[in-house]
Chains A and B, each alone.
Chain A
């Protein structure tokens, strides 16, 4: 299957700072990327869907000014958590799909801890 990477794998930051998480498709062109967050012992919650070159579509209840998503190329999407607060601490996972593959491939996740 295809490979998706995320960077960083773990980040700790102070309240009020912004954090950027990168999601890359390493060996295929990802026309669509998805961002999820996961709280302990819960399932994945879709935050937004982004198509290359266009604005992301956010799920209900997700603040688009808080969680900035950029999908500027077919291999890279970024999620920026702006002015992070402790309640933003979570496990963030991206996935990617492309025209060749009819399924989503998931990254290894990023553990964000806001102090």
Chain B
């Protein structure tokens, strides 16, 4: 059974700092991995999707990497801003069209 773990559970940083969120998964036979952002009381916003054949994806100040063999992904946020404060969720999909397995999330607070 696939299990996804995110470290740290919570993170508080000053504005402007670069930071890394970690995600690990137990079964490396994944189809793709997705990072989401969730604001309090809201749904999920997809940030980056990495296919199993890819090593990284970038969008603006966000960069996600994937090391499938070791079962790890990282989300790098450059020059963090207070507006980045949210919970970040990592999820893996094992086959095309199948369910997503979510981690518990990292709650990020960026202090002005």
Chain A residues within 8 Å of B, Cβ to Cβ:
1, 6, 31-32, 34, 42-44, 46, 49, 91, 93, 95, 97, 102-109, 111
Q: How far is the CA of A91 from the CA of B38 in the complex (A)?
A: 13
Chain B positions 26 through 52: 1 when the CB is less than 8 Å from some CB of chain A, otherwise 0: 000000101010000111111001000
Q: Which residue on A lies nearest to B89, using beta carbons?
A: A43
- How many residues of B sit at the interface, in one of the four size bands? 10 to 19
What is the minimal beta-carbon distance from A22 to any residue of chain B, in angstroms?
14
The answer, yes or no, to whether B61 is at the interface (CB within 8 Å) is no
Taking a contact as CB atoms under 8 Å apart, the answer to whether A97 and B97 are in contact is yes
Taking a contact as CB atoms under 8 Å apart, the answer to whether A106 and B43 are in contact is yes
A43-B102, A46-B99 known, 5 other contacts, Cβ within 8 Å: A32-B97, A44-B89, A93-B44, A105-B46, A107-B43
Instruction: Indicate which residue in A34, A95, A111 contacts B41 across the interface (CB closer than 8 Å).
Output: A111
| Contact A103 B49, CB 8 Å, known A43-B89, A43-B102 | yes
What are the residues of chain B within 8 A of A93 when measuring CB–CB?
A: 43-44
Taking a contact as CB atoms under 8 Å apart, the answer to whether A102 and B99 are in contact is no
Chain B residues within 8 Å of A, Cβ to Cβ:
32, 34, 36, 41-46, 49, 89, 96-97, 99-100, 102-105
| Contact A43 B43, CB 8 Å, known A34-B99, A102-B96, A103-B49 | no
Instruction: Indicate which residue in A43, A49, A95, A111 contacts B105 across the interface (CB closer than 8 Å).
Output: A43
Taking a contact as CB atoms under 8 Å apart, the answer to whether B102 and A44 are in contact is yes
| Cβ contacts A to B, 18 pairs, < 8 Å | A1-B46, A32-B97, A34-B99, A43-B102, A46-B100, A49-B99, A91-B41, A93-B43, A97-B97, A103-B34, A103-B46, A106-B36, A106-B43, A106-B44, A107-B43, A109-B41, A109-B42, A109-B43
